């Protein structure tokens, strides 16, 4: 077992020892907040934090505090045939995976069956996301990378008033939880976004939101900060737990065990078997998403933008102009379908016609990536103690809002690990809600 500092020799250290499993956005935030609470922390992760394998590495970078609407809305069941028939659509289900995905999909559809159910989800998610840009700005500053978090709002672009009205339920729900926005006319949209194609005639601008210029670098910086602040960094993979009665005694790994008093499961898409080992089996699956980055782009958005017709997000990252989106239900292990990345690429070029007149057009120099969003079928993460032991805390399953929701989730998980009262009611996120 390899550690990043001095092993496990703490002498007479009597602090409560917690193992945080997973060094993604949620795991790093949990470790930071646990250290802040005075706990002794071991961060357990088999890979390099923030690397290309990580879900946060290639996401859209949105700190969208208004992303409170679950993916499934009333009437979504009518779209299922299309999801199955079009393997390259914005949301697609791979046929071979359908038998395994079906129970998850049925719960997914049921969670958005009525507007009242959607509103309950939004009410809960808002408690995790409302101040996310400010929380991330604080974490980034502490980690020495304040420049990676920007708070200048996000834009939704529509081709027509009718297209906006198709999203009316979502905006109505957002309004009820306190989200405010500005409406930009076609002229205002042209003035503020001169490179955006003229087919977009209506903009909805959300000032409170923010974005991260390089999620991979941000998570890597948080992981370094965890170690610098006094945590142990262990390279290994958790495989289970050793308990005595209802008390946790050790986290089992592929290279032995780590004696501890508590643990947090923050392993993202790989959390399912660990949750089951802790007595809390949950219907975790993945919504696979893709991105493309044009690294030599010279045109693009002034404001991070999502376009309704392509269901994709585009904005500048430190590595170039990134477009991210798509939902593919195909499990953890299926090979990527890079045609989906090419679709994002074509959408991106069509959004910004000036690409056609630039010297290289930006059309050939691009990189692509696949990530696996850990998703619960009802659109809410699992945050709470396991059934087997209150010493084992679950904190995963954020779907499309993992990066955004990680800062508040880290605070809540650390409070549970420390045995203190969570600052936000956790009933909506109870891992036992699927029984």
Give 284-297 pLDDT, tens digit per residue: 999 999 999 998 88
Place of tokens 């934090």: 49
Distance between CA atoms of residues 247 and 392, nearest Å:
9
Asked if residue 139 lies in contact with residue 414, where contact means CB atoms within 8 angstroms, the answer is no
- Secondary element (H or E) of residue 181: none
Mean pLDDT computed over 330-345: 92
For the four alpha carbons of 225, 235, 370 and 268, in that order, the dihedral sign comes to negative
250-270 mean pLDDT: 97
| Nearest by Cα to 95 from 342, 335, 329 | 329
* Alpha-helix residue ranges (DSSP H) falling in 295-375: 339-351
With bands split at pLDDT 50, 70 and 90, how would you rate the model's confidence at 79? confident
Place of tokens 């930071």: 32
DSSP code for 178:
T
The structural domains of the chain, with segments of one domain joined by +, span 2-6+15-74+121-434
The answer to whether residue 12 scores a pLDDT higher than 70 is no
Q: How many other β-carbons are positioned within 10 Å of the β-carbon of residue 253?
A: 20
Average pLDDT over residues 106-126: 95
Helix 402-418 vs helix 115-129: crossing angle, to nearest 10? 70
Q: How far apart are CA 28 and CA 51, in angstroms?
A: 14
Query: Cα separation of 7 and 234, whole Å?
Result: 8
Taking only the tens place, the pLDDT of each residue in 380-403 is 999 999 999 999 999 999 999 999
Task: Write b or e for each residue in 139-163: b if 16 or more Cβ atoms lie within 10 A of its Cβ, otherwise e.
Answer: bbebbebeebbbeebbbbbbbeeeb
Over residues 230-249, the mean pLDDT reads 97
Buried b (16+ CB within 10 A) or exposed e, 101-136: beebbebbbebbeeeebbbbbbebbbbbbbebbbbb
> What integer pLDDT is reported at residue 365 of this predicted model?
60
What is the pLDDT of the chain when averaged over all its residues?
A: 93
Please give the residue that has the higher pLDDT: either 160 or 75: 160
Q: How confident is the model at residue 303 (pLDDT cuts 50, 70, 90)?
A: very high
Length of the chain: 435
Domain 2-6+15-74+121-434 classified CATH 3.30.9.10? no
Give the DSSP letter of residue 199: T
* Contacts of 6 by beta carbon, 8 Å cutoff, 6+ apart: 232
Judging by DSSP bridges, how do beta strands 285-294 and 305-307 pair with one another? unpaired
Please report the pLDDT score of residue 80 as a whole number: 81
Cα 256 to Cα 241: distance, rounded to the nearest angstrom: 11
User: What does the block give as tokens for 225?
Assistant: 């900060």
pLDDT at 68: 97
Q: Is-contact 47 152, C-beta < 8 A?
A: no
User: In which band, very low, low, confident or very high, does the pLDDT at 11 lie, cut at 50, 70 and 90?
Assistant: very low
Mean pLDDT score, 311-331: 93
Burial label, 192 (beta-carbon count in 10 A; 0-12, 13-18, 19+)? middle
Helices and strands (H, E) in the chain, number of each type: 12, 22
Flag whether pLDDT at 420 surpasses 90.
yes
Highest-confidence segment of 70-74, 138-142, 319-323: 138-142
Query: Which residues contact residue 5 at a Cβ distance below 8 angstroms, ignoring those fewer than 6 apart?
Result: 227, 232, 233
Look at 430 and 359; give whichever has higher pLDDT: 430
> Rounded to whole angstroms, how far apart are CA atoms 410 and 42?
15
Least confident range of 71-75, 86-90, 166-170: 86-90
pLDDT band (50, 70, 90) for residue 6: very low
245: alpha, beta or left? (left if phi > 0; alpha if psi -120 to 50) = left
Give percent of the chain with pLDDT exceeding 70: 95
39: left (phi over 0), alpha (psi -120 to 50) or beta: beta
What pLDDT does 89 receive? 81
Checking if the pLDDT of 8 tops 80, the result is: no
Q: Flag the least confident range among 56-60, 89-93, 300-304, 327-331.
A: 89-93
Residues 29-59 pLDDT 10s: 999 999 999 999 999 999 999 999 999 999 9
Percent of the residues in the chain that have a pLDDT greater than 90, as a whole number: 84
Contact status, residue 125 vs residue 380, Cβ threshold 8 Å: yes
Look at residue 85 in the predicted model and tell me its pLDDT.
81
The pLDDT of residue 7 is above 50: no
Closest CA to 150 of 93, 77, 100, 208: 208
């Amino acid at each position: 077992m390899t550690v990043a500092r001095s092993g496990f020799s703490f002498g007479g250290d009597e602090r409560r020892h917690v193992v945080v499993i997973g060094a993604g956005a949620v795991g790093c935030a949990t470790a930071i907040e646990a250290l802040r609470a005075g706990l002794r922390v071991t961060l357990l992760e088999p890979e390099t934090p923030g690397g290309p394998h990580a879900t946060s590495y290639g996401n859209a970078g949105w700190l969208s505090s208004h992303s409170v609407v679950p993916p499934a809305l009333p009437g979504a069941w009518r779209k299922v045939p299309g999801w199955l028939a079009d393997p390259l659509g914005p949301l697609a289900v791979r046929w071979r995976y359908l038998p395994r995905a079906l129970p998850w999909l049925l719960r997914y559809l049921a969670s958005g069956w009525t507007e009242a159910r959607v509103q309950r989800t939004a009410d809960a998610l808002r408690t995790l996301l409302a101040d996310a840009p400010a929380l991330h700005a604080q974490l980034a500053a502490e980690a020495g990378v304040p420049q990676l978090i920007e708070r200048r709002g996000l834009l939704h672009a529509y081709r027509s008033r009718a297209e906006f009205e198709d999203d009316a339920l979502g905006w109505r729900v957002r309004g009820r939880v306190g989200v405010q926005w500005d409406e930009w006319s076609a002229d205002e949209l042209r003035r503020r976004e001169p490179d955006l194609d003229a087919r977009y005639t209506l903009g909805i601008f959300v000032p409170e939101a923010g974005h991260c210029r390089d999620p991979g670098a941000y998570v890597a910086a948080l992981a370094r900060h965890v170690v610098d602040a006094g945590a142990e960094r262990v390279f290994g993979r958790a495989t289970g737990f050793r308990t005595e009665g209802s008390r946790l005694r050790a986290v089992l790994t592929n290279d032995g065990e780590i004696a501890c008093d508590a643990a947090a499961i923050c392993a993202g898409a790989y959390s399912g078997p660990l949750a089951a080992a802790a007595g809390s089996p949950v219907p975790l699956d993945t919504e696979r998403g893709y991105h493309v980055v044009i690294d030599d782009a010279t045109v693009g958005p002034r404001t991070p933008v999502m376009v309704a017709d392509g269901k994709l997000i585009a904005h500048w990252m430190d590595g170039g102009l990134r477009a991210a989106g798509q939902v593919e239900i195909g499990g953890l292990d299926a090979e990527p379908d890079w045609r989906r990345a090419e679709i994002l690429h074509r959408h991106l070029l069509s959004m910004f016609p000036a690409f056609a007149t630039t010297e290289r057009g930006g059309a050939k120099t691009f990189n692509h990536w696949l990530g696996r969003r850990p998703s619960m079928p009802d659109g809410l993460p699992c945050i709470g103690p396991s059934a087997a032991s209150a010493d084992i805390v679950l904190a995963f399953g954020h779907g499309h809002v993992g990066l955004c929701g990680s800062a508040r989730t880290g605070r809540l998980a650390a409070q549970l690990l420390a045995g203190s009262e969570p600052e936000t009611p956790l009933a909506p996120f109870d891992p036992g809600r699927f029984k």
